[in-house]
Amino acid sequence: MREARIGTAVIQLVQGDITQQDTEAIVNAANRSLRGGGGVDGAIHRAGGPQILEECKKLGGCETGDAKTTSGGRLKAKYVIHAVGPIYRGGKHGEAELLASAYRRSLEEAAAHNVTSIAFPSISTGAYGYPIEEASRIALETVMNQLPRFPGIKLVRFVLFTKNDLQVYETQLDKILASQQR
């Protein structure tokens, strides 16, 4: 596990299963319908049970770059924050801004629910095809830049499914921290 302190908060990078996290909230890499899907989305809906889907149906979907919150159902997490990242289309269609917005809106939703700990997957890097090197930089920089706005959030954990994804995030974190020390 890699950690970095940002003000009063800690950012952690771990390999694991986001559905098993003991944080107050976990973030779902959701689709716009919020009706479940594959990858992280399907795993969260399966592990959390039908209550999450029932709550999602009442939310009326979610635009790309936005996030909405439901309970955690049967998960350890009290909340699931459903964030919709962009489908990668070459990087020339506002994808970076939309991805950053999905992370920013997730933190805003967490703060609105008085969450002190949150776990993120790598949004948009699975079926949506976002290159993980670029996506990890956007994710980490956005969270690190936004954390001072949310002093109640003390822990942000990035939960990466594969060892390779974890290594990419670790490399990006090291680059960002090194650039801040110059």
pLDDT attached to residue 144:
97
pLDDT attached to residue 180:
86
CA nearest neighbour of 110 among 146, 69, 139: 69
CATH of domain 2-180: 3.40.220.10
Answer yes or no: 41 catalytic.
Answer: yes
How high is the mean pLDDT in each 10-residue block of the chain (182 residues)? Answer: 94 98 98 91 96 96 98 98 98 97 98 98 96 98 97 98 97 95 77
Domain spans of the chain, in order of start:
2-180
Q: Is 8 helix (H, G, I), strand (E, B) or coil?
A: coil
Which member of 17, 22, 41, 165 is catalytic? Answer: 41
Contact 11, 172 (CB under 8 A): no
